[in-house]
Chain A
Amino acid sequence: MGLTLTWLSVIILIPLAGLFLKTLELSPAQFWEILTSRRTLNALKISFGLSFAAACVNLVMGTIIVWALVRYRFPGRRIFDAIVDIPFALPTAVAGVALTQLFAQKGWLGAPLAELGIKVAFTPIGIFIAMIFIGIPFVVRTVQPVLIDLDPEIEEAAASLGANRWHTVFRVILPSLIPALLTGFALAFARAVGEYGSVIFIAGNLPNVSEIAPLLIVIRLSEFRYADATAIAVIMLLASFVIILAVNRLQRWAQTRIPAH
């Protein structure tokens, strides 16, 4: 017991406490100045904005994928079900170089897109693509068990009461998936905000344009501007705490909803 606590504090608690103590060394004015500098603000905007957009895409596409995997039988279904986990399992650096290669101007997908006048690699669109890649398992794996467990009788009841399929899906099934969908959305969003490895290769990393907040932390560290790095890290950490709290609330909400069915 004591051993566990000691180990946990050495490995997790002390390092995190160190982060906050380091921030306390800054005066509020300094802290504010770092955060409101143009480059920091832009990096935070890029990270949070694109993560939000990517999580929205994941929400829609994740729902479609879950639906196909749970409700339909098609050749290769089990394989597609298994590969949903690849973005979890693939080391982020590997994902990063692979996506860059794929979407670079001479890449398999980059070349046709370039002919359409769309440049993906080394632009914010590249960041967006990488964030979609990294987030998709969160939505699928959060919603999948809920859709599997959904009582078939609800749908039968809706249908026998005259609801057409469209109504049944959008008025009966989707509402009961909402807590799981929002949880998946929040998890995908949180992951995308903090993501580093799979994004930096394809991002181009142009300050103020395609530079994400985690990269700015790394850059500040390599310039030995620890205070700047710490201030950005603290803001991101607080944001992820808020997201965890929201997710916990969602889970509790989902649990109180279940007996209502």
Chain B
Amino acid sequence: MSTQTSFVTPEAPLRAYASTAGAAISSLSRREAREPPRAIASPEDFRTEPGPVRFVIIALAVSFLTIFVVLPLVVVFASALSKGFGAYFAALAEPEALSAIRLTLLVAAISVGLNLLFGVIAAWAIAKFDFPGKTFLVTLIDLPFSVSPVISGLVFVLLFGAQGYWGTWLQAHNVHILFAVPGIALATIFVTFPFVARSLIPLMQEQGTQEEEAAISLGASGLQTFFRVTLPNIKWGLLYGVLLCNARAMGEFGAVSVVSGHIRGETNTMPLLVEILYNEYQFVASFAIASLLAMLALITLVVKTVLEQRLDEGQTPRNDLRDDLRDDPSDH
């Protein structure tokens, strides 16, 4: 609302303001008297608080973030290195640690790969076509964000567990899903599915279908259109989605913990090993693995910031994008 529009509002509010307006003028003139060099207050003066208030707010914000966010992060590295670099690298070279790292990389590769493929298809379908049940599909994609990780794991136990729907059949045919790599991968895919699709849908919606229609009318095939027209347009958004998907896939704890069975050296991912070592009071080893995951998180944040700048440089207004990329189910 501009100052101008406030003068064309109906009379009642105007009358209500009349008395305060007078006060404003008198307070303004007092101000002029007190500080002549900045007599006519610049717009910025209206929009800030007195110095001490500003100081308190900044101090509160900074100390809260330091205590709740910076310190936990510092503790991870300090504890990992508390016995020196030798102990740190020795802990990382343990066979158990190495197998956990391998499993985490494998599971992340499987789930990021599949979610990339199906995330692009889902986003393509939702952004470029209209069909019945579209809202339902979008809700379905958002769902894993709002479900407790433990429940995400539980649903797979109910399907594949010994008492589950397909448990007996699987046992009879000697297929291992639960307490094995397929179960861990399934739970991870479930939890990380939204990232790629969610990063792409707003971007693709905004770009519309004109370029694709032009390509097709000029004789390009569907696949050609996708790889030559659509993909270059969405590459930064795609990278963004993959980045967040990967970070979550490598770090997922709750869902994986429920389906993994914690078989040492076989079904322990890095976060699970952090838990086991911590509960065994092997703090250096536990925090050494944790420090790798923390570094992953930090690198993810840095790359994310860079990608957000890239996305900004496109025509997309930053705030809309941010809204849609945020890890939340609220958009639909």
Q: What residues of chain A have their CB less than 8 Å away from a CB belonging to chain B?
A: 1, 3-5, 7-8, 11-16, 18-19, 21-22, 61, 64-65, 67-69, 71-72, 74, 76, 80, 82-102, 107-109, 129, 132-133, 136, 138, 141-142, 145, 148-149, 151-157, 159-163, 165, 168-169, 183, 186-187, 190, 193-197, 201, 214-215, 217-218, 221, 224, 226, 229-230, 233, 236-237, 240-241, 243-244, 247-248, 250-251, 261
Contact = CB atoms under 8 A, between A and B. Distances in A.
Contacts of B21: 161-162
Given A71-B47, A90-B251, 8 more contacts: A4-B121, A8-B122, A83-B69, A97-B286, A194-B147, A233-B148, A233-B150, A237-B147
A66 to B, nearest CB: 8
Q: Chain B, interface size: which category?
A: 35 or more
A3 B121 contact: yes
A94 B271 contact: yes
Contact of B290 (A93, A109, A157, A240): A93
B281 to A, nearest CB: 12
A250 to B, nearest CB: 8
Given A11-B189, A64-B64, A101-B75, A82 B149 contact: no
A92 B271 contact: yes
- Chain B residues touching A, majority SS: helix
B67 A109 contact: yes
B323 interface: yes
Contact of B156 (A4, A15, A155): A15
A84 B250 CA distance: 20
B27 interface: yes
A151 B1 contact: yes
Contacts of A154: 1
Nearest to A158: B46
A87 B148 CA distance: 16
B3 A160 contact: yes
Given A1-B125, A12-B190, A91 B250 contact: yes
Q: Most chain-B CB neighbours within 10 Å: which of A71, A93, A109?
A: A93
A196 B253 contact: yes
22 contacts: A7-B122, A15-B190, A72-B48, A82-B301, A82-B305, A87-B69, A92-B271, A93-B272, A129-B68, A133-B69, A151-B1, A152-B43, A161-B6, A169-B49, A183-B330, A214-B151, A226-B164, A233-B154, A236-B151, A243-B146, A247-B329, A261-B1
Contacts of A241: 146
B65 A83 contact: yes
B146 A95 contact: no
Nearest to B16: A161
A67 B55 CA distance: 12
Nearest to A98: B72
Interface string B1-26: 11100100000000001001111110
Contact of A18 (B118, B155, B250, B323): B155
B332 interface: yes
B323 A197 contact: no
B220 interface: no
Contacts of B17: 161
A85 B319 CA distance: 16
Contacts of A138: 328
B254 A92 contact: yes
